[in-house]
Amino acid sequence: MKVAGKVVVVTGGANGIGQALCEIFHREGAAKVVVADLEGARAKTVADSIGGASFACDVGKESDILRVIDETEKQFGPIDLFCSNAGIGGGFDPLSENAGGTSDEPWARSWAIHVMAHVYAARHLIPRMKARGGGYFLNTISAAGLLSQVGSAAYSTTKHAAVGFAENLAISHKAHNIRVSILCPQGVETNMLKGLPKGPQSSDGNLTPEEVAQCALEGIDRETFLILPHPQVIDYMRKKTDNYDRWIGGMAKIQAGLREAFKK
């Protein structure tokens, strides 16, 4: 899909990858880029810089996502591309003694933002896209959804669930000309990454948000389901499925090393 002339919504668009997506879509000639973010003032700043529009939005709330969809389509026309990009890094604890954690809160918040936000967007856009002959979803997930994330069971689990939902979304609606891409980088130089303990997500080097956005644009242009800004991830996926037990053992060694480093 070519972005030129399209109406695009980007959640989590006020910073990092989301901001870079907004900026590159604007440069590519999108008819309107809508920046949706929990930080409403920052979203407006980004939108003003590109001639876009903005909404304050908590993607974990279905009513907020529906409001963004309704207001965007009322003001600017049908949404062609919905980028469900918002994410959080909560629940990271390299020294955790129990993968189940001690509280439901990080699980509930991660589930709301990393999974249900994608579900809500699809729930309210699929009927509209079907009626008008197609549309596009770009869901920012993470290489953690394909591999894992040592130090945060909640992050890893919800990102895996996000991949599963995107697969089903793509399968269920391919016949309706609705396309889906998942963006799965490793380390990216964002505020979220800076707030996390150093870990294997950065072992292949951190990309800039702009580099990730460029990969996303190219993937959307090709209508590729799996977009990997770090191409090494495909080899890790193959090694994982080739010998799952060996892969688990290797990840356990990384976990042990991270624990030792964090104690120091």
CA–CA gap between residue 218 and residue 212 (Å, rounded): 10
Instruction: Please tell me the least confidently modeled range out of 52-61, 97-106, 116-125.
Output: 97-106
CA–CA gap between residue 73 and residue 14 (Å, rounded): 20
CA 81 and chain centroid, separation: 14
Where does the pLDDT of residue 91 fall: very low under 50, low under 70, confident under 90, or very high at 90 and above?
low
Where does the pLDDT of residue 205 fall: very low under 50, low under 70, confident under 90, or very high at 90 and above?
confident
For the ranges 182-196, 202-216, 221-235, the maximum mean pLDDT occurs at 221-235
Domain map of the chain by residue range?
7-233
Taking the CA atoms of 28, 32, 35 and 41 in sequence, report the sign of the dihedral they define. Answer: positive
Give the per-residue pLDDT at 137: 98
Average pLDDT over residues 20-33: 98
| Residue 69: burial class (beta carbons within 10 Å; 0-12, 13-18, 19+) | buried
pLDDT (tens digit per residue) in 47-86: 999 999 999 999 999 999 999 999 999 999 999 999 999 9
Question: Is the pLDDT score of 200 beyond 60?
Answer: no
Percent share of the chain, pLDDT over 90: 80
CATH fold label, 7-233 = Rossmann fold (3.40.50)
CA dihedral 28, 57, 89, 46 (to 10 degrees): 40
Q: Which two tokens stand for residue 188?
A: 């990216």
Give the per-residue pLDDT at 83: 98
Question: Is the pLDDT score of 172 beyond 80?
Answer: yes
Where does the pLDDT of residue 203 fall: very low under 50, low under 70, confident under 90, or very high at 90 and above?
low
Q: What is the mean pLDDT of the chain?
A: 93
Spatial neighbors of 7 by CB under 8 A, at least 6 apart, are 30, 31, 32, 34, 72, 73, 76, 77, 78, 79, 80, 81
Pairing of strands 178-183, 32-37: unpaired
pLDDT (tens digit per residue) in 129-155: 999 999 999 999 999 999 998 888 999
Closest CA to 122 of 11, 37, 3: 11
